[in-house]
Homo-oligomer: A and B are copies of this chain.
């Protein structure tokens, strides 16, 4: 027998580098495979390789390391507190009666995805800025409405993220660094504005949220006082939420914390009961809460010279935009929004899906959501995949992040902190993209949620980001020149 035949007669342990197809073949044959997902740095793209080389220059690398340490510290030491609820017009900086905020990077109405257009027109009817949905399409395209990303107004918005003047917002204050963030309230069920639905039932719910839910929560917070969201988040993660698409624990913890205040509000008992019933109608209630919490922490880490840490991943359904600490401000690095792969609700097929949408990837940017899937094995029932894969994701994400968050830990991994501070440079060098688990909205306006699954930001956005970082760092920090 030849030596090579001997080799294939023994049990194989194989380390596979590169092409996944080969690994699949070996796995199908029952061999153990450790797949390293190795790709050449920057995917071998010359401009990206050149940018990586700049970032690896010792004098720049040292400044990056210090800046990223600072970014990580700011994210993990941030203590976001829920301090109240209020209408967007009253609490959101720069809000006007004719402003519509939306998820993701900037986009014009005509370019928006179906679900975002559905949400915008629904919101215009809700605000009384249009008589009906047809009128709303005219108004939206008329130039009378100011469209802007949520992120550029201190906000985050789930899915379409459409936020209008009279909607009630969470008000979250970062007790450590003083900045504030905002997000609107969960509409709960599947046929909701944030997913692009906009019929009478959707508008009626928004009216009830404006006239009953919002005012009761506002008064409840005035009575009950601030709620430590980071502490509550840490508990929710210990209770099997990853806090993006699984919010079972967070919702129960949040309503438990709000309950004494709600009971003491001046509203009639019947309306208080409506609030409890509404919160109990879906596990999603705390989903937006964690988004605002993450936003408050990440905004505190935005604009640190020489930091390659991401502070925003946000999608508008057409483009996925990144913001990077070391660039700061409202500079977006974009690429095409990606498909979301996962189980569909009965009656829908993958081709019905809109592309990845929403500011909710702020949770992954913070280190929860897809990054904390190992804390939430039950999530696979919603987003697909196996429990083993879910557990493994957190370890993978540790390879592209700056460190751990000691305040948000995963019991199953021996109480390791969630992987935090996505590093553009590590993403490019490793070829590992951040994982996002997310809901799927129908691609057309007026329908709603049709599934959930897994996706990634586009590599194009990371290419633009690292090239810009290299240019900036080569030139020296903005304050020096």
Contact = CB atoms under 8 A, between A and B. Distances in A.
A248 B239 contact: yes
Interface in A215-254: 235, 238-241, 248-249, 252-253
A240 B387 contact: no
Q: Is the interface of A mostly helix, strand, loop or mixed?
A: helix
A262 B252 CA distance: 16
A280 interface: yes
Contacts of A272: 263
Contacts of A256: 252, 255-256, 276, 279-280
Contacts of A276: 256, 259-260, 263
Contacts of A380: 411
Given A239-B239, A263-B276, A377 B411 contact: yes
Interface in A368-417: 377-378, 380-381, 386-387, 391, 411-415
A87 to B, nearest CB: 25
A257 B378 CA distance: 22
Contacts of A201: none
A273 interface: yes
A34 interface: no
A264 interface: yes
A330 interface: no
A288 to B, nearest CB: 18
A377 B412 contact: yes
Interface centre among A241, A253, A411 (most CB of B within 10 A): A411
Interface residues of A, number: 36
A384 to B, nearest CB: 14
Nearest to A257: B280
Contact of A264 (B235, B248, B269, B412): B269
Interface centre among A240, A253, A256, A260 (most CB of B within 10 A): A240
A415 B381 CA distance: 10
A181 B353 CA distance: 49
B263 A235 contact: no
A277 interface: yes
Contact of A411 (B235, B240, B411): B240
A391 to B, nearest CB: 8
A280 B255 CA distance: 11
A325 B240 CA distance: 35
B378 A238 contact: yes
Nearest to A274: B260
A260 B278 CA distance: 11
Give me the 5 closest cross-chain CB pairs, A-B, nearest first: A252-B252, A377-B411, A378-B411, A239-B239, A260-B276
Given A239-B248, A239-B249, A240-B249, 6 more contacts: A252-B252, A256-B256, A256-B276, A260-B273, A263-B272, A264-B269
Interface of A: 235, 238-241, 248-249, 252-253, 255-257, 259-260, 262-264, 269, 272-273, 276-277, 279-280, 377-378, 380-381, 386-387, 391, 411-415
20 contacts: A235-B248, A238-B378, A240-B411, A252-B252, A255-B259, A256-B276, A256-B279, A256-B280, A257-B280, A259-B259, A259-B276, A260-B273, A260-B276, A264-B269, A264-B273, A378-B411, A386-B414, A387-B413, A391-B412, A412-B412
